Amino acid sequence: MQTQIQHAIQDDYADDYAWCYGCGRLNEHGYHLRTGWAGDNTVTYYEPRPAHTAIPGFVYGGLIASIIDCHGTGSAALALHRKNGHEPGDGVEPPRFVTASLKTDFLKPTPEKAILKAVGTVEEIHSKKWVVHTELYANDTLCAKGEVVAAVMPSTFTQKK
């Protein structure tokens, strides 16, 4: 099974916006989630840390929600970037999204010691707002479904410190 993204949208975020605990490449403590295209779908992989327990043997739901969250904003960024004529790795800074809402349905207990795979389908609902529907798999078993409404980052977020 492929478990690596070659060209991830997060690789191209501007340095100022690359500190997210979930998907910021510059956050040394974070998860470093990376999201890329797989045909018309988006994909993110993550191998939970041993501490990411819910009940021993199963992955903690907050981590799953976190993956769906950053996968959602990354997927929306991929989609708008493509709409604008760009792909990750082409040297153009992509748009950056924030999460307006995040919904996770936990369908089955998610087993530990598996690489999780989030697969997204992206739908534009407004020029600055996208919905990302995500299925999260462990060992090819669908364990959770998610829906993120992602909005282009508003100016309140972009004031530099």
Contact positions vs a second copy (CB under 8 A): 16-17, 19-22, 24, 27-30, 49, 51-58, 60-63, 65-67, 69-70, 98-106, 109, 153, 156-159, 161
Q: CB nearer to a second copy: give 139 or 158.
A: 158
Q: CB nearer to a second copy: give 82 or 133.
A: 133
**Minimum distance from CB of 12 to a second copy (Å)?**
16
What are the two backbone dihedrals, phi and then psi, of residue 132, each rounded to the nearest 5 degrees? -120, 120
Q: Which amino acid is at 54?
A: A
**How many residues are there in the chain?**
161
Q: CB nearer to a second copy: give 8 or 70.
A: 70
**Minimum distance from CB of 150 to a second copy (Å)?**
10
* CA dihedral of 88, 93, 99, 100, whole degrees rounded to 10: -120
Find, among 48, 132, 134, 58, the residue nearest to 98 by Cα: 132
